[in-house]
């Protein structure tokens, strides 16, 4: 009986000692952070939280204090309610960069993503998104102007004489060397995709009937060449006769419908042309007649010689 009472007494005293030790160690449990709040590093290092002790809370990373006290106190084994209210930090508009645009439809608060784009003719270099972090916007993008490959044309020249590549909006002009004709546009622009618009032209060797020009155009050229050359050259009175074999480039072909305007001299020329033809034909006929006449006369004379001996001449 005695031993049982002893044991009970000993257990009681052990319990009392335990309670005393625990009480001495601290009244409150280790505190925890709340919504968007954390314990300060200093508070985290503490292990014992006796009655009336105060610990400090702070806003989590990416948050800033909106209102309330940072302190909670241990009273009657319990922490007082935290009053600290934190809100997301606002990164604001991303810092402007040349030719750069931002889509901030998602906002500019902590964690928000902003899409980065460049103006027309510029391309992004670097990440195309920025994120609002505790330290500010992430990403170091820039907008570089779009460039085209250096222009090139075989058997011709371009107006581009810079060592750098042409950039967006730069205009290039092309010319062909002597004996070549330009097919395509003689002026192109470096567009926003880094291509030439329209495509770069080519220089084709001039032939009597270039495959790339329409046949009707060629027909007109051939028909008008002689008259046109005669009329234009006769003004300078240098060469009234022009060979049709002379090389004629498309650009020097006179507009058919504009021809009559400059023909006050040309009309005379065409008239003399047809006159000459007629004269030649008539001359040929006359000459033929004369030759036949002489031939007949000669024959007649021979016959006379044969029948009457030597003529009085």
Q: Which of 214, 236, 257, 311 binds ligand NAG (CB under 6 A)?
A: 257
Based on the shown chain and the rule CB under 6 A, indicate whether residue 212 belongs to the binding site for ligand NAG: no
Based on the shown chain and the rule CB under 6 A, indicate whether residue 250 belongs to the binding site for ligand NAG: no
Helix (H) or strand (E) holding 237: none
First to last CA, the chain: 201
Q: What is the largest CA-CA distance in the chain?
A: 204
Nearest distance from C-beta of residue 183 to ligand NAG, angstroms: 17
Based on the shown chain and the rule CB under 6 A, indicate whether residue 255 belongs to the binding site for ligand NAG: yes
Q: Which of 23, 78, 169, 249 binds ligand NAG (CB under 6 A)?
A: 169
Nearer to ligand NAG, 132 or 143 (CB): 143
Nearer to ligand NAG, 252 or 255 (CB): 255
Binding residues for ligand NAG restricted to 6-35, rule: CB under 6 A? 34-35
Based on the shown chain and the rule CB under 6 A, indicate whether residue 175 belongs to the binding site for ligand NAG: yes
231 burial type by CB count under 10 A (0-12 exposed, 13-18 middle, 19+ buried): buried
Contacts with 59 (C-beta within 8 Å, 6 or more apart), sequence order: 36, 37, 38, 65, 84, 86
Applying CB under 6 A, the span of 168-176, 199-207, 221-229, 295-303 interacting with ligand NAG comes to 168-176
Number of residues that bind ligand NAG (CB under 6 A): 11
Based on the shown chain and the rule CB under 6 A, indicate whether residue 67 belongs to the binding site for ligand NAG: no
Neighbours of 33 (CB within 10 A): 17
DSSP E strand boundaries for the chain: 37-39, 54-59, 63-67, 71-75, 78-79, 85-88, 100-103, 113-118, 122-125, 129-133, 136-137, 142-145, 156-158, 171-176, 180-183, 187-190, 196-197, 202-205
Based on the shown chain and the rule CB under 6 A, indicate whether residue 217 belongs to the binding site for ligand NAG: no
Nearer to ligand NAG, 138 or 175 (CB): 175
Nearest distance from C-beta of residue 124 to ligand NAG, angstroms: 15
Q: CA-to-CA distance for 279 and 291, rounded, in angstroms?
A: 18
Based on the shown chain and the rule CB under 6 A, indicate whether residue 237 belongs to the binding site for ligand NAG: no
Q: CA-to-CA distance for 265 and 237, rounded, in angstroms?
A: 11
Interface with ligand NAG (CB under 6 A): 34-35, 41, 121, 157, 168-169, 175, 255, 257-258
């Amino acid at each position: 009986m005695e031993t049982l009472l002893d044991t009970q007494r000993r257990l009681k005293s052990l319990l009392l000692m335990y309670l005393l030790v625990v009480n001495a160690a601290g009244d409150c449990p280790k505190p925890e952070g709340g919504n968007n709040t954390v314990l300060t590093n200093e508070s985290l290092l503490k292990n014992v939280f006796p009655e009336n002790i105060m610990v400090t809370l702070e806003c989590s990373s990416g948050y800033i204090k909106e209102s309330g006290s940072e302190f909670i106190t241990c009273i009657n084994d319990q922490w007082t309610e935290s009053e600290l209210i934190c809100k997301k930090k606002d990164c604001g508009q991303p810092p402007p960069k040349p030719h750069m645009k931002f889509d901030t439809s998602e906002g500019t608060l902590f964690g928000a993503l902003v899409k980065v784009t460049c103006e027309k003719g510029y391309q992004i270099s670097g990440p195309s998104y920025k994120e609002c972090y505790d330290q500010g916007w992430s990403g170091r993008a820039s907008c570089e102007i779009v460039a085209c490959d250096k222009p090139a044309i075989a058997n011709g020249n371009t107006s581009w004489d810079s060592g750098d590549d042409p950039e967006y909006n730069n205009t290039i002009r092309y010319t062909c060397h002597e004996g070549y004709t330009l097919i395509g546009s003689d002026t192109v622009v470096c567009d926003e995709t880094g291509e030439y618009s329209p495509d770069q032209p080519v220089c084709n060797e001039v032939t009597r009937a270039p495959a790339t020009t329409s046949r009707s155009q060629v027909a007109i050229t051939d028909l008008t060449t002689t008259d046109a050359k005669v009329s234009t050259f006769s003004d300078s009175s240098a060469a009234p006769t022009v060979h049709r074999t002379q090389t004629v480039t498309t650009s020097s072909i006179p507009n058919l419908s504009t021809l009559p305007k400059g023909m006050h001299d040309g009309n005379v020329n065409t008239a003399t042309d047809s006159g000459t033809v007629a004269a030649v034909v008539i001359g040929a006929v006359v000459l033929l007649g004369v030759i036949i006449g002489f031939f007949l006369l000669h024959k007649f004379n021979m016959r006379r010689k044969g029948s009457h001996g030597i003529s009085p001449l």
